[in-house]
């Protein structure tokens, strides 16, 4: 067994199940580096590796090192091809449980992430974060040529073609190309029907998370 004494790693996510503490239970173990508190000593030991850089778990296939056992177990599945988590709705298989849980929202329609500005709901956190830029005005994608900023990477890429002269789509007419942007993730479409189809299933955001 690779587990260290006192350590209770989650074999799927790499996170210790002991980190989800009872709010009424005091945290007795404190990190000497940053002061963060933990209920379990094993959780503290795992956390301290962030500061010390210790990586005691080694992949037998490629030699890569990891700070947590769960991270190693998940990594080794990339070598073995093992996908032990299966969707009960469509049968699709996944390497990690958390990815399966996110995938299942496509079938159940669950949207657990809510915008605090307008109340709109989303299946994935990344979708919420990109949507919130509409309200906050955040534009994290900056053009290296003219320093103009954009909310979404797709908008930046489209803009950069003006500098590079790139024309990925050739048209027989000279009418200016129309674009349609997804309000959830910013992906750009040349046809409105393509955008509508994309927004119905939010496949792009699913792929980003998976």
pLDDT by residue (tens digit) across 20-40?
444 455 668 999 999 999 999
Dist CA 194 CA 110 (whole Å):
23
Dihedral in degrees, nearest 10, Cα atoms 57, 58, 64, 70: -50
- Identify whether the C-beta of residue 1 lies closer than 8 Å to the C-beta of residue 13: no
User: Please, which residues have CB within 8 angstroms of residue 176's CB and are 6 or more apart in sequence?
Assistant: none
Dist CA 114 CA 104 (whole Å):
18
Dist CA 210 CA 121 (whole Å):
19
CATH number of the structural domain 17-80? 3.30.160.60
Tens digits of residue pLDDT in 86-137: 999 999 999 999 999 999 999 999 999 999 999 999 998 989 999 999 999 9
**Helix, strand, coil % over all residues of the chain, rounded to 5:** 40, 10, 50
Residue 114 CA, chain-centre distance (Å), reads 17
Dist CA 13 CA 87 (whole Å):
18
Dist CA 44 CA 35 (whole Å):
10
- Identify whether the C-beta of residue 180 lies closer than 8 Å to the C-beta of residue 169: no
Task: Tell me what the mean pLDDT of segment 60-71 comes to.
Answer: 94
Q: In this predicted structure, what is the pLDDT of residue 193?
A: 67
Dist CA 20 CA 42 (whole Å):
13
Q: Is 131 helix (H, G, I), strand (E, B) or coil?
A: helix
Q: Is 66 helix (H, G, I), strand (E, B) or coil?
A: strand
Dist CA 67 CA 73 (whole Å):
12
Per cent of the chain over pLDDT 70 is 70
**What backbone phi and psi angles, to 5 degrees, belong to 164?**
-85, -20
């Amino acid at each position: 067994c690779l587990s260290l004494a006192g350590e209770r790693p989650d074999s799927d996510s790499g996170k210790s199940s002991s980190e989800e503490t009872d709010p009424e239970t005091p945290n007795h173990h404190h990190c000497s580096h940053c002061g963060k508190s933990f209920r379990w000593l094993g959780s503290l030991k795992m956390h301290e590796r962030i500061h010390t850089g210790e990586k005691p778990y080694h992949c037998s296939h490629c030699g890569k090192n990891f700070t947590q056992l769960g991270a190693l177990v998940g990594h080794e599945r990339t070598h073995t091809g093992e996908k032990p988590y299966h969707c009960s709705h469509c049968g699709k298989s996944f390497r990690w449980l958390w990815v399966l849980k996110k995938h299942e929202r496509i079938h159940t329609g669950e949207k657990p992430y809510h915008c605090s500005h307008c109340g709109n709901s989303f299946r994935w956190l990344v979708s919420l974060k990109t949507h919130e830029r509409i309200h906050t005005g955040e534009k994290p994608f900056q053009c290296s040529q003219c320093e103009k900023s954009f909310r979404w990477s797709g908008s930046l890429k489209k803009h950069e073609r003006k500098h590079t002269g790139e024309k990925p789509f050739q048209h027989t007419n000279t009418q200016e190309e129309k674009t349609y942007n997804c309000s959830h993730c910013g992906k750009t479409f040349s046809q409105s029907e393509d955008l509508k189809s994309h927004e119905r299933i939010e496949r792009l955001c699913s792929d980003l998370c998976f």
